[in-house]
Amino acid sequence: MHNDAHTTPSAMDALKWMCGIFTRPRLTAAIVVRRSSPQEAFPGLPDHLVVTHILRSEHFDDPADLARLPVVSRAMRDAVAETGLPFEEIDEDRAVRLGCLSAVRRMQRGGRLSCQEYLCAAAARSGQLEELKVLRADGCPWDTSTCWSAARGGHLEVLQWARENGCPWDEETCADAAYGGHLEVLQWARENGAPWDARTCRGAAEGGHFEVLQWARADGCPWDEWALYLAAKKGHEVVVRALIELGANVNKAADVDKAKANGVTPLFIAAEKGHEAVARALIEAGADINKAMNGGATPLYIGACNSHDVVVRALIKAGADVNKAMDDGVTPLHIAAWKGRKSVVRALIEAGADVNKAKDNGQTPLFIAAQNGREAIMRVLIESGADINKARDIGVTPLLIAAQNGREAVVRALIKAGADVNKATDGCATPPFVAAQNGHEAVVRALIEAGADVNEARDDGATALFIAAENGHEAVVRALIESGADFNKARDIGVTPLFIAALIGREAIVRALIEAGADFNKATDDGVTALFIAAQKGHEAIVRALIESGADVNQAKDNGVTPLFIAAQEGHEAIMRALIQAGAEINKARDIGVTPLYIAAQNGREAVVRALIETGADVNKARNDSVTALFIAAEKGNDMVVRALIESGADVNKARDIGATPLYIAAQKGHEAVVRALIEAGADVNKARDTGATPLFTAAEKGHEAVVRALIETGADVNKARDKGETPLSVSITPVNEGNHAAIVQLLRDAGAA
């Protein structure tokens, strides 16, 4: 093996060696672990031969085939990893089918083997008689899988020994011998009483073993429609012809999916797999070329679906109906257009396929080709008379779907062929609209060049420019502006492209629209401007861009709320300062008299409150019902805001329309810190509301012990009664409050309450 004229071992030889098919000394776990290189995984082979010649991708086109390699040893796992080839973990069923006894043993040691009988089956499958004997001597169980594994591998000696030693068998033994093409094994099994059934003929047919099938039938083996189906599926022409000569029904369908009873004929499966010779043999034998499986798929359909153009032509030549559709209206031409196989499309058209026949949902072959970017197919269809403007059931044309998916070449080809660039869907979306919606700049420009109306709106009033602005497609926005799009055209609720860009925070698009001359003061139906919405959402850069452009900082919405008000409400201090610097009226109130300072105080925005105070906000300006910023801050328990307002001169005793002061409401709500701040600022602890209730009364009634204590400490009159005569003490010892307010009752009595 080391001379210059060495012979490269085949991958199959290597795999046989690994799986134990070649005789070799038994390996212990210790020996396997000690292997450290690819060369040691293949004793006698140099590393460069193992990695370069055996572990090559052309030998393993199915990742599952590599599954058997890493289980041999750690060295082999490293060798496979070195190649970079993908591989799947081998499972126990596959390990048994491959006869990889070492893999099955590894699973057993790892506690991952679900059936101990698999050990004997794997040994039998790979013909390791001595290993099988050792397993049995060690008490390893076996079952019918041992016999059929030996039969499948063609190991007659193993099968004979197993039977001599009482191993059971069943019909699967003959079936697997037939599948493996092992006539001698099958004959011995039958001579020794092995049962068989239709699976034996199926196995011979599927494996492509004509002689085995011929002998089985001559010896009276039963068969069914599956034999011909499996031979056709595997492409075994000789076996197919033999079965036909033996009288197999070429039109008998097999229910591959029992639950669906889908009825697949031999011709259908041959067409699906692309077995031309088999298909021709079946056609010659009288196979029904138009017989469809459940769902309506014909052999021609499935051949077109899998791009088997030779099979397609053979079926067409035999008279297949090129326009026969599935239950949902899909024809062979539809599926060929979707797959993009030009030769199949041409063959179908030449045979008379209707290029304008639509699916149940109205999609034509041209529509499908346009949707999937099959430019060459589309051109063939157009040349053959396809209606380029035929729309599907919701009004979507081939041009619109191509525009939506960004298929520039397809779009240009359709335009050149005369497609209507303005034809809209049932919802009035045009090709420019959907292209703009998805950011396909090149498609938008192609449509503009072709004369598309860029201002055509959807049924809700949204234009291509609007949707491009909403979705942040700056390049599309600029292309539309350049083409004369109306940048002030609003959708049905008055929202303009500028407004929507400001709402979402698309700064670059906002600037592009401003540069183009968009009306930055245009409001929605309820009076909201782009500046207002940007201030509300906290988009500072956009707010500044709008201010720089001259946006009216005091323009209010219908309820009187200004941009400054909304910025204060949401706590956007930087935006609020920018608005004030630009001339926003800091004391401008909304319709119910609420000022920016009031709303900031209500929401606990201390920094905003201080900024407004610094810039001259009126700390005592009240709502229409006389509620001040201090009152609402006290009610909400925002003690830091309360202190900021007090420091700025807020009137701590200014009452609302029902006579309640900030101290009263703070006491009622139990905000001790606010109560103490107001008392420190000189709040009148005995000032009552219109019912005569004092701060102490309401605190006692509500059970706020800490507040009661604070008020008593600062001189509150413990015996002052409200209009109905109740005192703080009497309200504390009512049946409702008795027991719950015991501490308050004691405080009041200690302070002299009678």
Residues 129 and 36 reside in one and the same domain: yes
Residues 187 and 244 in one domain: no
**How many Å apart are CA 377 and CA 382, to the nearest integer?**
9
Residue 321 and residue 297 in contact, taking contact as beta carbons nearer than 8 Å: no
Residues in the chain: 754
Tell me the mean pLDDT in the region 110-135. 96
Residues 160 and 250 in one domain: no
Q: Is the C-alpha dihedral spanning 217, 222, 225, 227 positive or negative?
A: negative
Residue 290: DSSP 8-state: T
- Judge whether 335 lies within some domain: yes
The reply to whether 308 and 261 lie within a common domain is yes
Q: Can you tell me the mean pLDDT for 139-157? A: 97
User: Token match 């413990």: residue?
Assistant: 718
Domain CATH for 234: 1.25.40.20
Give which of 611, 687, 696 is closest to 656, Cα–Cα: 687
CA distances from 357 to 368, 399, 724 (A): 12, 18, 89
| Residue 71 belongs to a domain | yes
Given this model, what pLDDT does residue 49 score? 59
Range with the largest mean pLDDT of 45-59, 310-324, 719-733: 310-324
Residue 533, in any domain of the structure: no
pLDDT score recorded for residue 433: 97
Position 50 pLDDT exceeds 70:
no
Asked if residue 256 and residue 172 are part of one domain, the reply reads no
Asked whether residue 21 is assigned to any structural domain, the reply reads yes
Block residue for tokens 């699916």: 359
Please check whether residues 182 and 253 belong to one and the same domain: no
Among residues 326, 352, 378, the one where a domain terminates is: 352
187 lies in the same domain as 228: no
Both 166 and 266 in one domain: the answer is: no
Q: Mean pLDDT, the chain, as a whole number? A: 90
pLDDT tens figures, 126-138: 999 999 999 999 9
Mean pLDDT of 312-341: 96
Q: What's the rounded Cα separation, in Å, for the pair 196 and 614?
A: 100
Q: Is the pLDDT of residue 506 over 70?
A: yes
Of 352, 374, 396, which residue constitutes the final position of a domain?
A: 352
Does 187 share its domain with 229? Answer: no
Residue 90 — very low, low, confident or very high, per pLDDT cuts 50/70/90?
A: confident
Residue 117 lies in a domain: yes
In tens, the pLDDT along 443-496 reads 999 999 999 999 999 999 999 999 999 999 999 999 999 999 999 999 989 999
Three-state secondary structure of 249-284: CCCCCECCCCCCCCCECHHHHHHHHCCHHHHHHHHH
The verdict on 295 and 187 lying in the same domain is no
State residue 34's pLDDT score: 29
Residue 254's pLDDT is what? 84
Q: How many domains does the chain have?
A: 2
pLDDT per residue as tens digits for the range 547-558: 999 999 999 999
Confidence of residue 23 (pLDDT cuts 50, 70, 90): very low
Residue 253 lies in a domain: yes
Q: What is the 3-state secondary structure (H, E, C) of 678-721?
A: HHHCCCCCCCCCCCCCCHHHHHHHHCCHHHHHHHHHCCCCCCCC
Query: Which residues form the domain of 185?
Result: 11-191
The answer to the question of residue 274 being in a domain is yes
Same domain? 62 vs 128: yes
436 falls within a domain: no
Matching residue, tokens 């926005």: 477
Same domain, 102 and 23: yes
